[in-house]
Structure 1
Amino acid sequence: MGMSGGTAGYTPAPQKKQRPAWMIGGATIVSFVALLYVIEAWDAVNHQELNADGIRPLESDGLWGIIWAPLLHANWEHLIANTGPALVLGFLVTLAGMARFIYATAMVWILGGFGTWLIGNIGAPPGVESVHIGASGLIFGWLTFLIVFGFFTRKAWQIIVGIVVLFIYGGVLLGALPGTFGVSWQGHLCGGLAGVFAAYLLSGPERKAREKRKTGTAQQLSY
């Protein structure tokens, strides 16, 4: 049997076509919201027993609630109210890049949750233990991230997204003000602040590039 040393018969394996970023982002957000529905379905069958695992302010074992709180909802109405904003705002954040989406979400989730753990009892009636649950803190973080991110990066399309989001959802920000007991304005406030912090931190590459350009221009003008 002979062997041919030529490569005429060799065909390279076809490369997999990479999916568009918007498709990956959309699938990610839809999967996350679907998970919320699965958890709520299980919880509804089991008399909402998971809701006790939310954030219990200033209690050491209540710190675990930081991890679980965004996944839990008081009832179907609570989850349905959060579904639309979560799908829209979460998807828009993915357009800034999946890495940024993951980091921003993690920062809002952890920092916003920790802030809620610190101040969550403010405004509660004496002797009443509050438990904070729901994805709304995460939604507020995504909202404020989108509103300010473009102003940090100075990219036109991100500024436009921020303005449109502010116009459509800006009224929601009133939910971060102290109000009716039973609505976690503390979670909204802390999530929103964490979203601004995440936007500033994650816009670092654009801000540094802008400073370099400014420095370079200044040096050219000094000659």
Structure 2
Amino acid sequence: MTPKLTRLLADSRRALLTMLGLLAVIWAVQVVNWMDDYGLSYDFGLMPRRLDELPDMFTMPLLHFGWGHIEANSWPLFVFGFLSAYRGLRKFLWATLMIVVASGLTVWLCERPEAVTAGASGLVYGYFGYLVLRGVLDRNLLDAVIGVVVAAVYSYLLIGVLPVAQGVSWLGHLGGLLGGLAAAWLLRDRGPKAATTATTATTEAAAGPRSALHKELDGLGL
């Protein structure tokens, strides 16, 4: 097994455990929330244009308003989250932060004043946008294929960013989607290794035959 494949399998295992852990937290919170008659959602959901409510953008994704609500979010959250994280958790965590902030700020700035917004759907739409764009920007064949498949199978989700459905935070969806697209752009692979290799080759070529000879002598221990 090659080191690259070993690392991919290790990252995939961490991604799986991360998403299972996140879902376990969300469902545990849901049980407590349900027992409290969804008081947590109203207390820690996000209300617009109040400074004291801004921190609630970070609790908003953990809360839901019913079992149907959490069930609808859980499956796509797990699938999109795992596919977003399987090549490394650091980028995934940065992408998650960008998505949460983008979704939360969009709701906080633009939602009607009396609304309380909660749910993980902003993350779902954010991971969706991140997956669709990441492979193209990174020029990674596997990620590009994943992006195409996700876009084709789940393209119906884009209806959720339009103000057509009642009782749905389309602003949270839209903000999450934009946050995911922005994360794919900002976290794209800029190819530092390739650039370093090209720079080294250019430097050696500029140094001329003497440099190449010295390198060969060094390799022989002379």
Give TM-score, length-normalised by structure 2: 0.81
The answer to whether the aligner puts 1:137 opposite 2:128 as a matched pair is no
Q: 1:203 and 1:23 mapped to 2: Cα distance?
A: 22
Q: 2:162 and 2:189 mapped to 1: Cα distance?
A: 29
Out of 148, 159, 173, which is 2:158 matched to?
A: 173
| Equivalent residues, number | 197
Shift in Å, 1:64: 2.3
Out of 30, 38, 44, which is 1:48 matched to?
A: 38
Greater CA drift, 45-54 or 189-198: 45-54
Where in structure 2 are the equivalents of 1:39-78 lying within 5 Å? 39-52=29-42, 53-78=44-69
Shift in Å, 1:35: 0.5
2:13 alignment counterpart: 23
* RMSD after superposition: 2.6
2:183 alignment counterpart: 198
Where in structure 2 are the equivalents of 1:179-218 lying within 5 Å? 179-206=164-191
Q: Which runs of 4+ in 1 moved over 4 A?
A: 208-216
Shift in Å, 1:20: 1.8
Q: Which runs of 5 or more residues in structure 2 are unaligned? A: 1-5, 206-222
Shift in Å, 1:96: 3.0
Does the CA-based 8 Å contact 2:11-2:87 persist in structure 1? no
Where in structure 2 are the equivalents of 1:30-41 lying within 5 Å? 30-41=20-31
Shift in Å, 1:22: 1.1
1:118 alignment counterpart: 109
Shift in Å, 1:45: 0.6
Where in structure 2 are the equivalents of 1:77-92 lying within 5 Å? 77-92=68-83
Greater CA drift, 18-27 or 77-86: 18-27
Greater CA drift, 57-66 or 141-150: 57-66
The answer to whether the aligner puts 1:100 opposite 2:91 as a matched pair is yes
Q: 2:151 and 2:72 mapped to 1: Cα distance?
A: 19
Identity of aligned residues (%): 32
Shift in Å, 1:181: 3.4
Q: Secondary structure at the match of 2:163?
A: coil
Does the CA-based 8 Å contact 2:122-2:172 persist in structure 1? yes
Q: 1:78 and 1:213 mapped to 2: Cα distance?
A: 50
Shift in Å, 1:204: 4.5
Does the CA-based 8 Å contact 2:161-2:173 persist in structure 1? yes
Q: 2:55 and 2:129 mapped to 1: Cα distance?
A: 25
**Structure 1 residue identity aligned to 2:97:** A
Sort the Cα spacing of 1:148 and 1:41 in 2 relative to 1 into closer, same or farther, 3 A: same
Q: 2:107 and 2:137 mapped to 1: Cα distance?
A: 26
Sort the Cα spacing of 1:63 and 1:28 in 2 relative to 1 into closer, same or farther, 3 A: same
Judging by fraction of residues, say which structure has more helix: 2
Shift in Å, 1:136: 0.2
Q: Which runs of 5 or more residues in structure 1 are unaligned? A: 1-16, 122-127
Q: Deviations over 1:72-96 (max 9, x none)?
A: 0001110011111011000000123
Q: 2:103 and 2:19 mapped to 1: Cα distance?
A: 19
Q: 2:34 and 2:51 mapped to 1: Cα distance?
A: 27
